[in-house]
Amino acid sequence: MAPILLHGSLHGCPAPAKLNLFLHVTGRRADGYHLLQSVFQLIDRGDVLDFDVRDDSLICRTSEVPGVPAEQDLIVRALRLLQAEHARRHRATPGIDVAIDKRLPMGGGLGGGSSDAATALMVANALWQSGLSKRELMALALPLGADIPFFIFGENAFAEGVGEELVAVATPECWYVVIEPGVSVPTAAIFSSRDLTRNTKPVRIADFSRHLSSRTDAKEFGHNDLQPVASRLFAPVAEALAWLGQYGDARMTGSGACVFCAFSSASEADAVLGNLPAIWTAWKAQSLPRHPLHMVLQVDGVIE
């Protein structure tokens, strides 16, 4: 369902999940941040947010999110950065109410919190008429997390650096089965592990693109360097990978915990879901070529 635009409001705004089709750790910077290569794939499942401009300058999250106080929520923190930039440019301090229907698991590697923050920035930029360009929004968001700029970028992307260097890339149309193993994997625990491989040989975007001529090869390109560490530390991740691996090239997304496998059709995905053990939550999702909000918002944040 498309977002509904009302005066000073935008309801039903999607914050889609992402999958890492592969994730290589190619090095480590002097400041401790890891150098990565990945392909980010948008899918048609995610959280949904409602926005209502306020008459005052308060930024209020009106929904409870278990385990995430509003002051720590990436949505609120991102909106405060935009609010400060808006005040600098326009000498006014707008406010907004944000309600969230949280559908993605936390600690799942699906980028849910980052996607929520990106959607909040894009929508508030439009409703407040702040006037930031897409690139300016991406730069504003980067200090909060390297995944947020990707969702603002709005296209499937080959990512490098700490995840902020993005180049649009074509990916195959397919369906994914995603399993939630029932654990939350803390990213810091994975990246701080002594067992983490940090010297994978870099690939080029052309290496990935060459595999797009074959759907099977495209699905099997690369690997996730974080997966062995997460599997050793969290048995449910390993168990979900082993079960889903019966049907194809099963992988973990991000630093976990969710695992996924690609299929050519919805019926193939449904057949796998029909055999799912009752201990897990799982669902199917279709690949997206672009962020759905880009059909509603122009890159400069103005409602079309």
Per-residue confidence (pLDDT) for residue 209, from 0 to 100: 83
Tally the domains of the chain. 1
* CATH number for the domain that contains residue 163: 3.30.230.10
What are 128-174's pLDDT values in tens digits?
A: 999 999 999 999 999 999 899 999 999 999 999 988 899 999 999 99
Structure tokens at 266: 């919805």
Catalytic: which of 73, 147, 219, 284?
A: 147
Domain limits at 34? Answer: 1-304
Query: What stretches of the chain adopt beta strand conformation (E)?
Result: 4-6, 9-28, 34-54, 59-61, 95-101, 157-160, 165-168, 175-180, 251-252, 259-263, 281-286
Quick check: is 284 catalytic? no
To 10 degrees, what angle do helices 112-127 and 74-90 make? 30
Q: Please check the confidence at residue 220 and state whether its pLDDT lies above 70.
A: no
pLDDT digits (tens, 9 = 90+) for 30-69: 888 899 999 999 999 999 999 999 999 999 999 999 999 9
Query: Residue 290 carries which DSSP code?
Result: B
Q: Which two tokens stand for residue 77?
A: 């923190």
Q: Which amino acid is at 20?
A: N
Residues 6+ positions from 111 with CB-CB distance below 8 Å:
17, 18, 147, 150, 151, 254
Q: Which of 39, 36, 41, 19 is nearest to 202 (CA)?
A: 36
Q: Inform me whether the pLDDT recorded for 5 exceeds 80.
A: no
300 noted as active-site residue: no
Question: What was the pLDDT predicted at 214?
Answer: 55
Is pLDDT above 50 for 304? no
The predicted model gives 17-34 an average pLDDT of 92
